[in-house]
Every structure is written in structure tokens, then in C-alpha cells.
Copies of this chain bind each other. A is one copy, B any other.
Amino acid sequence: MAAKHPSSIEETHELRPRFNADGLITAVAQDAASGRILMLAHMNSDALRLTLETGVAHYWSRSSGALWKKGETSGNLQSVVEVLVDCDQDAVILKVHVSGDGNSCHTGRATCFYRVVARGGGSHRLEFAGV
């Protein structure tokens, strides 16, 4: 059953993102039309604020230690249709439309999740999903 405490993090109407020790929340980008999950990334408070203010996805690049306007160089900007937040407010979903050639993965694919784990046997092999 749903919690009965409207001020709790789960029931509040306030956006109160719970950034981790590194100042980050997790963001999942999902294609707004197909529902396909495109990528998983992280946001600091600036990235979240800019995403909400501009309607274009911004992340925090942990590898380069910098704010990252996704698609700024490739043209594959992610226009944000909807932002959802989870129960404990440490993760968000961005439902997006991708411009340019429609890719979100740095390998040149539409999605970062292009490999499926083939089950069975002692070891697991990855099969490419043909994207």
C-alpha cells in the first residue's frame, strides 16, 4: 500500500533530488515514442537544472568530470518530453526524442543496450541485437 505520509520523500509533490556522495543521481534516457531504453547516465544538480530549464538533456560526464550537453557535437540532441522521478528521488527517467541521426550511444548506435545475454551453459555469450 502507498505510504500515508505526504511529506515523505515518496509522497511529496516537491522535487527533492537525493544526490549521492558524488553529488549525482542516475538518469535513464528512454525513447518517448518506442519506449526503448537508450542509455544510462548521471546528473549533478546543474545538469538536472539545465535539463529542466532548457528541455534538452544534460548530464554529468564522470569520465571527463564536466557538464555534458548530450549531442552538442554530434547533433544528436535529446529533446525531453517528460521527466519522471522515482520513489526515493535518486533516479530519473528522461523520455526523449533524439535529433540528428537518432543515435544515443558513442559507438554510433541508437541505444547503448545493443547486446543481449544469451542464456544457458556455463558461460554467457552476448549477442548483438542488430542495431
Contact = CB atoms under 8 A, between A and B. Distances in A.
Contacts of A15: 117, 123-126
A116 interface: yes
A26 interface: yes
A85 B119 CA distance: 13
A11 B114 CA distance: 10
Contact of A36 (B12, B35, B107, B127): B35
A112 interface: yes
B126 A12 contact: yes
Contacts of A119: 52, 55, 83
Given A13-B127, A37-B30, A40-B28, A112 B86 contact: yes
Interface string A37-61: 1011000000000001001000000
Interface of A: 1-3, 10-15, 26, 28, 30, 34-37, 39-40, 52, 55, 82-88, 91-93, 105-109, 112-117, 119, 123-127, 129
Q: Top 5 A-B pairs ranked by shortest CB distance? A: A35-B35, A86-B112, A84-B113, A83-B117, A1-B108
